[in-house]
């Protein structure tokens, strides 16, 4: 074991969350006694395998400095980019651990159990991500909004976070994808494009991403339920 952290968490937090219709970025909206981002960082830092968290912030961010967690020496800040992939790549430039775990800023309900399972599977191969199996009937529509097909849901998953990969492998995959103008929707898509086959790990249904106003109440409920157990 070296003196370097063996697992670093990266949190891209440079987005504005326009769908929330709020006056500040969604990650800073109140969720109980803390903001969403503070809950997320607290959960990550509480896991014994996470020795450092790198947060990618927008250049004009004036809110992070007001958080109590901002003074935590385990948190390192970098400047985010125009897209998620750019923010993650900027963060990877300062990561020293062999493995990195990327997690959405607006997923405050991540549990230690999900992180444990992700780590176990990811380190057996080329990385892994948390996901949830599609349970609803899937439809494909045309430009007019008319249903043109029912899509077989067998083997379909919703991609969640965290997503965990070898640091340098993910860094190269992102660099190559961005250089070619590829559409990179998450870290796994960059790895897939580079020829890797990340594993899927089924995560908890309450690992909610706050994207709309009604999600705040649901996230608050989930956090209370988790804290009660």
Q: Read off the pLDDT of residues 60-103 as tens digits, 9 standing for 90 and up.
A: 999 999 999 999 999 999 999 989 999 999 999 999 999 999 99
Q: Read off the pLDDT of residues 165-222 as tens digits, 9 standing for 90 and up.
A: 999 999 999 999 999 999 999 999 999 999 999 999 999 999 999 998 899 999 999 9
**Tokens 């190559």, residue?**
176
Whether the CB-CB separation of 91 and 206 falls below 8 Å is answered with no
Helix (H, G, I), strand (E, B) or coil at 163: strand
How many CB atoms are located within 10 Å of the residue 106 CB?
Answer: 26
The model's pTM is 0.91
């Amino acid at each position: 074991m070296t003196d370097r952290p063996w697992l670093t968490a990266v949190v891209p937090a440079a987005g504005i969350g326009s769908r929330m219709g709020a006056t500040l970025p969604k990650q800073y909206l109140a969720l109980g006694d803390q903001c969403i981002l503070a809950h997320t960082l607290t959960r990550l830092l509480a896991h014994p395998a996470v020795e450092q968290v790198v947060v990618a912030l927008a250049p004009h961010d004036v809110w992070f400095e007001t958080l109590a967690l901002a003074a935590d020496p385990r948190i390192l800040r970098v400047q985010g980019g125009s897209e998620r992939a750019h923010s993650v790549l900027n963060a990877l430039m300062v990561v020293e651990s062999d493995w990195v775990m990327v997690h959405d800023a607006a997923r405050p309900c991540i549990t230690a159990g999900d992180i444990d399972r992700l780590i176990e599977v990811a380190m057996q191969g080329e990385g892994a991500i948390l996901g949830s199996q599609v349970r609803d009937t899937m439809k494909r529509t045309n430009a007019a909004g008319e249903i043109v097909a029912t899509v077989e849901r067998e083997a379909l998953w919703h991609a969640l976070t965290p997503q965990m990969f070898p640091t340098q492998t993910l860094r190269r995959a992102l660099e190559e994808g961005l250089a070619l103008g590829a559409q990179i929707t998450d870290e796994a898509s960059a790895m897939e494009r580079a020829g890797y086959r990340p594993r899927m790990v089924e995560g908890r249904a309450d690992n909610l991403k706050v994207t709309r106003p009604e999600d705040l109440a649901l996230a608050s409920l989930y956090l209370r339920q988790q804290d009660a157990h």
